């Protein structure tokens, strides 16, 4: 990534259309039926983007990371990793203890994500539970956590 200079900024309302176009190009129309998108419904929303939505797993607060997306010409240049590192750093700095996502364990395990044990968490709609991952930002934070995954609307108050 030494030949690529990045500026990573928090998303603003003015970014919504550009980010949505990026998601359309990189994930296609099938993205709307994915479980993670169903949790993000009704949440408004460049070379890449990553989002984190406050959720609950049972009664435990967490974040749902994603989508993490990068424009095709910028892939394999460290943009996704930089966005991921920044998202986790910011989450920890804000006092969050857990981050979940639906994704490829081989990619996300490099920053500590692990598969959630079968039966510990349930998402709405169809999901490949082998791709449901969690990273503890605080050691042991996922030890006694289980339940349904849902948006945490208390953050909007």
Q: How far apart are CA 152 and CA 157, in angstroms?
A: 11
Alpha carbon separation from 93 to 88, 117, 135, 137, 143 (Å, rounded): 9, 27, 15, 10, 21
Question: Is the pLDDT reported for residue 32 higher than 90?
Answer: no
* 145 or 71, greater pLDDT: 145
Beta bridge partners of 102: 132
Q: How far apart are CA 103 and CA 106, in angstroms?
A: 9
For the chain, what percent of residues have pLDDT higher than 70? Answer: 93
Per-residue pLDDT at 42: 59
Question: Is the pLDDT reported for residue 55 higher than 80?
Answer: yes
Express each pLDDT in 67-84 by its tens digit.
Answer: 999 988 888 999 999 999
Per-residue pLDDT at 41: 67
Q: How far apart are CA 124 and CA 122, in angstroms?
A: 7
Express each pLDDT in 120-133 by its tens digit.
Answer: 999 998 999 999 99
* 27 or 42, greater pLDDT: 27
Per-residue pLDDT at 65: 98
Q: Are 122 and 146 spatial neighbours (Cβ–Cβ below 8 Å)?
A: no
């Amino acid at each position: 990534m030494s030949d690529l200079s990045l500026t990573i900024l928090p998303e603003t309302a003015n970014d919504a259309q550009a980010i949505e176009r990026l998601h359309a190009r990189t994930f296609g129309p099938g993205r709307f039926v994915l479980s993670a998108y169903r949790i993000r419904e009704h949440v408004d929303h460049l070379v890449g983007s990553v989002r984190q939505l406050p959720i609950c797993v049972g009664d435990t607060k967490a974040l749902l990371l994603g989508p993490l997306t990068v424009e095709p010409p910028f892939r394999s240049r460290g943009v996704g990793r930089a966005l991921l590192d920044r998202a986790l750093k910011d989450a920890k700095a804000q006092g969050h203890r857990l981050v979940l996502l639906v994704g490829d364990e081989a990619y996300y395990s490099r920053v500590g994500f692990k598969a959630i044990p079968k039966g510990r968490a349930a998402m709405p709609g169809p999901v490949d539970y082998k791709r449901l991952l969690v990273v503890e930002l605080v050691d042991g934070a996922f030890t006694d956590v289980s339940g349904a995954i849902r948006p945490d609307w208390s953050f909007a108050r």
